[in-house]
Structure 1
Amino acid sequence: MTDPSFPAFLYLTPGHLTTQTTDIVYAFHLQRRNSAHVVAIFQCVEQPANVWISPPNAPFGGIQCANGCTDSELTFFARCIIDWMKGRSGKKLIIKTAPFCYQPILHNLLHNVYINTGFAVIQCFANSFIPVDQNSFIGRIKSAEKRKLNKAIAAGFQAAILPELPCATVYEFLAQCRDQKGYRMPLTLWQIENLRQKFPDTYRVFAVMDKAKIIALTLTVRVNNKILYNFLCDDLLSYRVYSPMVMLTEAVYNHCQQEHIEILDLGISLNENGDHKPSLSRFKKNIGGKDCIKITYEIKFPY
């Protein structure tokens, strides 16, 4: 898509299969004229009833862009995407964005772009994150969580990164924990295998062990050199008295310190119905979490 009067243009690359279903990711790229560099990208999937979403399963999507992109460039980009979807009889587009703490200045820029091109805010969640610095994890957490951590240490539990843990073991443990609590798995075993195989340095597994038994586990995502996202995590109900998630988070936090990662993203706190879960939010605050906003936008296409 081009506009001769505008110093940038957009092109589309459809057809990248991402799941074992027929879902296709459509990737829109923005380039400045006389430059081979892509300065912004947008990825989305078409779902039933002509609804588009960015992204379907990942924690956040929306427009990703380089530093230095202007309001006018990104507005042009958004309008081209909207016009293309209208041409395909799209009914609406939903965008789940990254938490505000990732890039505050860029977040504000993109918020204005979305609003000015017709999007509305349909959800606004509190997203928890731990700023990673030279301070110890135990120095950040509340007294009650310190007692639980000490109890887990006294019981002989060990926490570590487990790069060789089979995907089937990861999936089966998380699925078992979630089934006990009435939650569904957002990814299939095949998707976890595919992600870890394609991005071995991006997706890492940490676990807490009671001897040879896994009692808590998390699959993390290295978003970039400064951010680690605690993507999928859970623990066994039978070990809740020890709260092994505290020990698990300490292991991930220590890894962040070693890798010079500045933000450990704990995500939003929802129950099985997708509503805010106060107890989970309190737990994240108790282990040093701070809150920032995470917004979902929607635009409906009139006919």
Structure 2
Amino acid sequence: MLLFSASLSPLDDRYWLRCAVLPTSEPTLPLAYEPYLYLRPAYLALHPAPGEVVFFYLEDHQQGQTVGHWPLVIAAQHAHSSWQAPFGGVQIAPSVPATTVRAFVTAAHQALAAAGVGEVHLRAYPTSYDEAASALLLPVFEELSYRTTLTETNYTLPLAHSFEDGLHPSARRRLRKCHQHGLRVEQETPLFLPLAYEFMQQCRQEKGLPPVWPLEQLQAQFRAFPNDQFLFSVRDATGTWAALTVLIRLNDEVLYCIHPASSLQWNTFSPVILLMQGLHAFGQASGYRLLDLGTATFPTGPSESLLTFRRHLGGVSGPRLTLEWQSGEQVRR
């Protein structure tokens, strides 16, 4: 992929497309927003890719800001967004006109095709993160002959709302039971990560769930992004762990909860409900907008029990889309 910078319109020099490749892939103009963690150069640099890591930037030369970007990993004529992350996609500032969004995505796609890329795999962030941007982007990708190959149900907790008011009556009873038995939420030191990892692995094995990310990968992320990675637990009155999770700060609006785990011996209490109450309180007090609970999609398909549990927590459902493009797709249509 060649490095380049070009105006998006011959009649207007305000918006420019710039292509950059790791390791020199930081935006040259300051960003108009805080990028999601998984869309940052520093995150992709942490996870070695088999090919080039390419960033397309949308620059507003009138405002002197970068107002959009799209990271991809390109290897053997295949482009992937995301890479070793739950999602990738295109992030756009809310001030960008729809016509400019279309021109940016179209120009970036054309640059990929001109560089010999024959397939693009894009796993977008949940639409609830930015509903306006998602509504603009999907029609553009469809016009470029991208197909939706997977629609996952994602659940988020709006942090402006009361946690307790959103609970299903059964979840509210179990939360009350946790409080009555002296269970409490704590933010743990990252030094406990190896022990926490062992606890989470054991809990997932008990319930027949796939393993979490490798410990070395979690430790590397905690070291690289110490202000964006948190370890939260529920302890009983003796200090023993009843539940654990990793909380990720994606940007200044969204928190992402991964790998919540509790032992089968605590099933009648459901301490993860208390854990979510603690995360909700943390996010609300810190000014975040959403707590992402995830999709509950496994290689065998969606877990209906997990989806039901997230609904009982008051989770609001929304789609998370995977899009794919293949060279010649438009001709076949």
TM-score scaled to structure 2, two decimals? Answer: 0.80
Aligned-partner Cα distance in 2 for 1:178–1:51: 33
Total equivalences in the alignment: 300
Aligned-partner Cα distance in 2 for 1:196–1:236: 24
| Residues 62, 165 of structure 1: alpha-carbon distance in 2 compared, 3 angstrom cutoff | same
Partner of 1:172: 198
Aligned-partner Cα distance in 2 for 1:100–1:26: 23
- Describe the SS at the equivalent of 2:166: coil
How far has the Cα of 1:20 moved from its partner?
A: 5.7
Partner of 1:263: 290
User: Structure 1: which 5+ residue stretches go unaligned?
Assistant: none
CA offsets per residue over residues 19-44 of structure 1, 9 Å max, x none? Answer: 26756532222223566522211112
Residue 290 of structure 1, aligned match among 316, 319, 328: 316
Partner of 1:189: 215
- Describe the SS at the equivalent of 1:76: helix
Aligned-partner Cα distance in 2 for 1:283–1:145: 9
Partner of 1:14: 22
Residue 209 of structure 1, aligned match among 230, 235, 243: 235
Residue 300 of structure 1, aligned match among 326, 329, 333: 326
How far has the Cα of 1:294 moved from its partner?
A: 1.6
Aligned-partner Cα distance in 2 for 1:178–1:41: 36
Aligned-partner Cα distance in 1 for 2:106–2:251: 28
Residue 43 of structure 1, aligned match among 33, 47, 71: 71
How far has the Cα of 1:113 moved from its partner?
A: 1.9
| Residues 249, 24 of structure 1: alpha-carbon distance in 2 compared, 3 angstrom cutoff | farther
**What is the aligned-residue RMSD (CA, Å)?**
2.5
| Residues 157, 105 of structure 1: alpha-carbon distance in 2 compared, 3 angstrom cutoff | same
- Describe the SS at the equivalent of 1:112: helix
Partner of 1:227: 254
- Describe the SS at the equivalent of 1:74: helix
Residue 274 of structure 2, aligned match among 244, 247, 257: 247
Aligned-partner Cα distance in 2 for 1:226–1:51: 32
Amino acid at match of 2:199: F
User: Structure 2: which 5+ residue stretches go unaligned?
Assistant: 24-43
Amino acid at match of 1:26: V
Further displaced range: 272-281 or 92-101: 272-281
The 5 Å alignment of 1:77-226 reads: 77-133=104-160, 135=162, 137-185=163-211, 187-210=213-236, 211-226=238-253
- Given that residues 9 and 32 in structure 1 are in contact (C-alpha distance below 8 angstroms), is that contact kept between their aligned partners in structure 2? no
Aligned-partner Cα distance in 1 for 2:194–2:51: 23
How far has the Cα of 1:252 moved from its partner?
A: 0.6
Percent of residue pairs bearing the same amino acid type: 22
| Residues 46, 121 of structure 1: alpha-carbon distance in 2 compared, 3 angstrom cutoff | same
Further displaced range: 103-112 or 188-197: 188-197
Further displaced range: 19-28 or 186-195: 19-28
- Describe the SS at the equivalent of 1:187: coil
- Given that residues 129 and 266 in structure 1 are in contact (C-alpha distance below 8 angstroms), is that contact kept between their aligned partners in structure 2? yes
TM-score scaled to structure 1, two decimals? Answer: 0.88
How far has the Cα of 1:87 moved from its partner?
A: 4.3
How far has the Cα of 1:249 moved from its partner?
A: 0.6
- Given that residues 21 and 52 in structure 2 are in contact (C-alpha distance below 8 angstroms), is that contact kept between their aligned partners in structure 1? no
Amino acid at match of 1:30: L
- Given that residues 57 and 187 in structure 1 are in contact (C-alpha distance below 8 angstroms), is that contact kept between their aligned partners in structure 2? no
Residue 59 of structure 2, aligned match among 31, 36, 40: 31
- Given that residues 10 and 80 in structure 1 are in contact (C-alpha distance below 8 angstroms), is that contact kept between their aligned partners in structure 2? no
Aligned-partner Cα distance in 2 for 1:166–1:80: 47
| Residues 149, 50 of structure 1: alpha-carbon distance in 2 compared, 3 angstrom cutoff | same
- Describe the SS at the equivalent of 1:27: strand
Aligned-partner Cα distance in 2 for 1:44–1:186: 24
Aligned-partner Cα distance in 2 for 1:24–1:175: 33
Aligned-partner Cα distance in 2 for 1:194–1:61: 20
| Residues 51, 11 of structure 1: alpha-carbon distance in 2 compared, 3 angstrom cutoff | closer
Aligned-partner Cα distance in 2 for 1:140–1:75: 38
How far has the Cα of 1:164 moved from its partner?
A: 3.8
- Given that residues 165 and 205 in structure 1 are in contact (C-alpha distance below 8 angstroms), is that contact kept between their aligned partners in structure 2? no
Amino acid at match of 2:17: F
